[in-house]
A and B are shown apart, each in its own frame.
Chain A
Amino acid sequence: MEYLTFALAKGRLAEKAMELLEEIGIGCDEMKEDSRKLLFTNEDIKCRFFLAKAQDVPTYVEYGAADIGIVGRDTLLEEHRNLYQVMDLKFGKCRFAVAGRADEVTDRLNSNDLRVATKYLNVAKDYYFNKKRQTVELIKLNGSVELAPVVGLSDVILDIVETGSTLEANGLKVLEEVCPLSARLAVNRVSMKLKYDRISEIIRGLKELCSSDDQNR
């Protein structure tokens, strides 16, 4: 039997994902050990797992280096790769939002005279150019986006917001909600066909698990 390979977005998402997978019998003890390995194998069930930077997970899945990827919707929206998005895993919940200093920009939010700083250029393009039909100026940043409006680089930011505490600490407020985010299960398009039996079983298992979780809440 060929291996089924999982790519997991490094960090909390991966931990939570492994917990879920373990519940449906797809665990990997090797991963729990402290080692410098990059690829972990569970020979009993012929599964392999690796951790990758979130932005790279869709790439691994699209090319077929991984059959299944678990990654945030934010990354999938930004990367827009050719793969199956089969299920909302309902954890890692947060949202894309536009934030800024309410007193300064409220009247310009819908005008073309707006500078937007973001890490998510494609998401911002889609939101402003396609959905809001605004020709705004986009500025690509790589981190600490909250700084941009504070030091006057941009009017607003489009970023992931979880609790909003970082925004608050910097005097920023959510001005527009863009879309909700959570962890997603992505599948390579060829694997979906060639390893259909195993993958569909995993999807069914996870769907059952998630809906019973819903009911318990």
Chain B
Amino acid sequence: MINKRLHTPEGVKDFLPDEFAYKRNVEKITERTFLSWGYKRVSTPTLEYSEVFSDTGSVPGPEKYRFLSREGDILVLRSDMTPAICRMAAGEYSEGDLPLRFYYVENMFRYNEKNQGKMREMTHCGIELMGESGVEGDCEVIICAAVSLLNLGLKSFKIDIGHADFLEGALEEAGISGEAALSIKDAIIDKDYIKVTEITEGFHLEEKKRYFLQNLPLYLGGEDVLDKAKDIFKNKRSLDALENMQKIYDYLKECGFEKYICFDLGIVPQLDYYTGIIFRGYASGTGYSILSGGRYDRLSECFESDFPAVGFVLKIDELIPVLETNNISFKNKKADTLLIYTAEGKSCAVKTGIKLRKSGMNIENYYGELDRGLEYAAEKGFGGVLYFSDSENVRIFNIAEDQEVSMKVSELAVSEE
């Protein structure tokens, strides 16, 4: 037993100043990227009715934080932003308002498995582009995902692109349906290709189709992968999906982004609302994906509306260890200043301090002797120290350069707003 008063629950954590500053920097740079692409920030409530997620093919039931409201409704702590924004857009906007570009920075809550290094409260920064059905929309979101990572200083990453329809069509063509199709998809989601092999052994398949399904993880790469698949599967659904991916490849190649992407025909949508491309981003430093996204053209139907949409999310908590592994740091713009004063200097120091703060300086008060204060400032990395010995004189110490000047308080330049 643990003394619960002293601990936080499984999967949630405190952020201390340095850690929090790092995270905020990542969020701010990402927000800047989203804004620069014309996305506007929205926020949805932390609580939603359970139906928003359960009727839309979002996160599965056991992963959600659910509870009863006083009124007897089942409420859920937001576990996925896409259905929530889709609900909002469907309710608040009409066809004439399209296209809509939204971004968000919010915390999600999911009961992730214990002790597997995953948090249960996690920060997601993402965008949703609503009302664009074409390859342009797909590519805008993929490029925006790549640019977000580049803007954070990450150079080495891969975005894997697959398509929700490809495998559906392929299984249908191979004559695998019903229960067997479901178990094969489950096995592919579990990445258990031995089970896939076992299941496909039970069917009379053309040799090249059998080999393809059993070796799905090996069908990973550039446009050659699409060509290989086109040779094996001839059904319309799969071919349309491959055609869609080919167009995306051509577009991204023209724009110089093909080096960041690869195709993975073995991607199966983990969320049921995806209808078109699905993608995930990987980089060394974490065993999990750092971003994921895709097209969800029919999700709005769940909210009695009808518009195509595509989006992606950066998983900030997975991204941070990746950035750290790649030695990416964010410099704080300015060092803080320490303010020390004697009893005689007090009123002058406090008043001047307020003015200086208003002008944009970050000033911390120190209640103690000058000597100790200087030591403290050096230890904690302050830029300078202001010492008001009385109501007229101030000594200014530059900690980094170990210099000191004295002047009259009246000479201290304070730029007024």
* Chain A proximity mask over B20-59: 1 for CB below 8 Å, otherwise 0: 0000000000000000000000000000000000000000
A84 touches B287 (CB 8 A): no
Q: A residues within 8 A CB of B190?
A: 85
B287 touches A193 (CB 8 A): no
CB within 8 Å for A84 and B193 given contacts A193-B160, A193-B262: yes
A62 touches B287 (CB 8 A): yes
Q: Is A129 an interface residue (CB 8 A)?
A: no
Q: A residues within 8 A CB of B158?
A: 193-194
A85 touches B284 (CB 8 A): no
A189 touches B191 (CB 8 A): yes
A84 touches B116 (CB 8 A): no
A205 to B345, CA, bound (A): 79
Q: B residues within 8 A CB of A170?
A: none
Q: Which of B220, B221, B283, B287 contacts A188 (CB 8 A)?
A: B287
Q: Is B243 an interface residue (CB 8 A)?
A: no
Q: Is A83 an interface residue (CB 8 A)?
A: yes
A194 to B289, CA, bound (A): 12
CB within 8 Å for A86 and B217 given contacts A190-B286, A194-B158: yes
CB within 8 Å for A85 and B192 given contacts A63-B287, A189-B287, A192-B217: yes
Residues of chain B at interface, number, CB under 8 A = 24
Residue among A84, A88, A193 with most chain B CB within 10 A: A193
Could you tell me which residues of chain A, from 70 to 99, have a CB within 8 Å of some CB in chain B?
73, 81-88
Q: A residues within 8 A CB of B220?
A: 192-193, 196, 200
CB within 8 Å for A190 and B191 given contacts A88-B197, A200-B218, A203-B218: no
CB closest chain-B residue, reference A81: B116
A190 touches B288 (CB 8 A): yes
A190 touches B284 (CB 8 A): yes
B194 touches A84 (CB 8 A): no
Q: Using a Cβ cutoff of 8 Å, how many contacts connect chains A and B? A: 66
A87 touches B193 (CB 8 A): yes
Q: B residues within 8 A CB of A86?
A: 193-194, 217
CB closest chain-A residue, reference B196: A85
Distance in Å: Cβ of B115 to nearest Cβ of chain A = 9
A64 to B287, CA, bound (A): 5
A194 touches B194 (CB 8 A): no
Distance in Å: Cβ of B321 to nearest Cβ of chain A = 10
Q: Is A173 an interface residue (CB 8 A)?
A: no
Q: Is A184 an interface residue (CB 8 A)?
A: yes
A85 to B191, CA, bound (A): 6
Q: Is A2 an interface residue (CB 8 A)?
A: yes
B116 touches A62 (CB 8 A): yes
Range of interface residues on A (Cβ < 8 Å): 20 to 34
Q: Is B282 an interface residue (CB 8 A)?
A: yes
* Chain A proximity mask over B214-244: 1 for CB below 8 Å, otherwise 0: 0001101100000000000000000000000
Q: Is B117 an interface residue (CB 8 A)?
A: yes
Distance in Å: Cβ of B266 to nearest Cβ of chain A = 9
Distance in Å: Cβ of A159 to nearest Cβ of chain B = 21
Q: A residues within 8 A CB of B288?
A: 82, 189-190
Q: A residues within 8 A CB of B117?
A: 63
* Chain B proximity mask over A161-190: 1 for CB below 8 Å, otherwise 0: 000000000000000000000001001111
Could you tell me which residues of chain B, from 92 to 131, have a CB within 8 Å of some CB in chain A?
116-117
Q: A residues within 8 A CB of B286?
A: 64, 190
CB closest chain-B residue, reference A59: B116
B191 touches A84 (CB 8 A): yes
Could you tell me which residues of chain B, from 130 to 174, have a CB within 8 Å of some CB in chain A?
158, 160
Distance in Å: Cβ of B220 to nearest Cβ of chain A = 6
Q: B residues within 8 A CB of A62?
A: 116, 287
CB closest chain-A residue, reference B198: A88
* Chain A proximity mask over B179-203: 1 for CB below 8 Å, otherwise 0: 0000000000011111101000000
CB within 8 Å for A193 and B193 given contacts A188-B287, A200-B218, A203-B218: no
Could you tell me which residues of chain A, from 88 to 131, have a CB within 8 Å of some CB in chain B?
88
A150 to B195, CA, bound (A): 35
A85 to B195, CA, bound (A): 9
Distance in Å: Cβ of B212 to nearest Cβ of chain A = 14
CB within 8 Å for A85 and B194 given contacts A192-B217, A193-B262: yes
CB closest chain-A residue, reference B221: A196
A194 touches B284 (CB 8 A): yes
Residue among B194, B220, B288 with most chain A CB within 10 A: B194
Q: B residues within 8 A CB of A203?
A: 218
A203 to B283, CA, bound (A): 22
Q: A residues within 8 A CB of B289?
A: 189-190
Q: B residues within 8 A CB of A87?
A: 193-194
Distance in Å: Cβ of B126 to nearest Cβ of chain A = 20
A161 to B160, CA, bound (A): 41
Distance in Å: Cβ of A105 to nearest Cβ of chain B = 30
Q: A residues within 8 A CB of B192?
A: 85
Distance in Å: Cβ of B325 to nearest Cβ of chain A = 10
Q: B residues within 8 A CB of A82?
A: 116, 191, 287-288
Distance in Å: Cβ of A123 to nearest Cβ of chain B = 14
CB closest chain-B residue, reference A61: B287
B194 touches A184 (CB 8 A): yes
A184 to B160, CA, bound (A): 25
B217 touches A194 (CB 8 A): no
Distance in Å: Cβ of B272 to nearest Cβ of chain A = 19
CB closest chain-B residue, reference A66: B287
Known: A190-B289, A193-B264; 7 extra A-B contacts, CB below 8 A, are A81-B116, A83-B191, A84-B193, A86-B194, A190-B286, A192-B217, A200-B217
Contact sample, A vs B, 14 pairs, CB 8 Å cutoff = A2-B284, A87-B194, A184-B194, A188-B287, A189-B191, A189-B282, A190-B284, A190-B287, A193-B158, A194-B282, A196-B220, A196-B221, A200-B217, A203-B218
